[in-house]
Structure 1
């Protein structure tokens, strides 16, 4: 067992060691994709100039495109991909459900309702108000789901059922608000947000989501051993000295806050938290000290490229990134299921 764990740990370290440079290179490459005619060398020079290393022979417009438009969006895509992937991995283990994803706890539905209220009622202006409404809605939905699960007696199955009920409730509220209050333009805005978009990325979004994601990853990694114990059931985990109830509340809260933060700035991006944990476990095994960092790296690389395809494949129109993750995620998930069937 220890030899297997050591092999998986070394494999995970190798994947991360290769994945991080691949992520950086991907960011550099996708920053050049678009009508500005930039090269990787131009992007590197622009970044070097920002840190006081040399000067870039690039127009001010080119510099603005990279620093104000493309780079914040690319970084936000990487952060969202990593964060959603880690949340999915934790929830699948914590709830012992291979179909669990970051939106199982009603967070997506609550965020959607909050964002729709901001759009339809005209509360505030701009993406900041939209993000605040989405975040508040997500937290209210999560609190309601936890109350329902507690009233129902707690336990993993109760949390899942309460999450399904909360998701349906807030989905219905969102539809009701749109049908009764939104005009055609507002309906279009709501639909676009519900399908996920990183087009409004700003440096403030990058800083906030980056810090929250970093804290969330550290907390989850610090509980990796306890999460491993959940694979044998709650009773077995308790017999191994895991404080089951406290750990469940801690990790559910952390994943809920992280998901709410990500949804608030990106809208609803599905399949990342569902598919990537399975892919990571196929590569490095089920141990969370190995699988969580690999999931984060895979999620970051995946969403950077999917978002780039979403903004360029149908120019001048832009496809919502949630549509892109679904188009990529469904075939990948089918392939994972087929491989597991063959292996079993």
Structure 2
């Protein structure tokens, strides 16, 4: 299939995304105002209920079947010494996910969510009965020397994310979270954010895996060099993603688009996931109505990244692990919102006067 045919398929899926159901959201707001509390006193919990109604088109959607899609990929830019951990950690952590031993596995079990681990670009041969293998590249190329991916590879990774989400939705999954693993992916995320949000690398490059001051300066220079060399076009999100991005970021763009196309809310994790959300928002503006930002990462630049999309985090726990951990934690807040809306008495049913 040619690049043009791939992109035509992607465009058709984007155009199929249902519009946000303003009527359902309004009905949820009206119901919330009738509950035995001052209007608006539950803050974001009320807003969550309205957004879930608007996204799904249902006043009280059943979101009990949920999944966190963990996309894994390696980055050639690791050659530049921008991480505190070697690239070999990526496949090792993927096996940890698959064996249920990572932080996201623990939190997903608590939240009643399935962990779907996808090899979309790991630079190693991986085999496991629970692995979803959609390998597009064996790690990206070094973006400080050349484009990280071709345009065709990038669109293929996006389409893989869409397909995986559609497969999950077909089995009844109604709620998604984004997760990722890939040593070097905060470097790619900083580069994408710098280009699409028009921010200097000094504002977007953070400490990632815990690098020291001298490596932070070097990492910032690497991002500057990659942008200057590749000249990604800020008006073309796919071009940006191809030149300075990563396969797992592209896969998450597909997850977000796929969730919206199936009328499913998607909870966005930290810095890398929000970078994917920024790309998705530029490719498919309707996806923003389906996104809920889980938390404010401790990674520098995350707040400005969310501002560029128009998202507001639900929690702030100074986390910067990734994997989908913050997004899965936020599932509990969505559950709380729906239970409040369904189980609280109204003023009429409780016989309480509003005046």
- Bucket of the pairwise TM-score, normalised by the shorter protein: under 0.3
| Structure with greater helix share of residues | 1
Instruction: Tell me which protein shows more strand as a share of its residues.
Output: 2
Q: Which has the higher contact order (CA 8 A, sep 6+)?
A: 1
TM-score by length of 1: 0.27
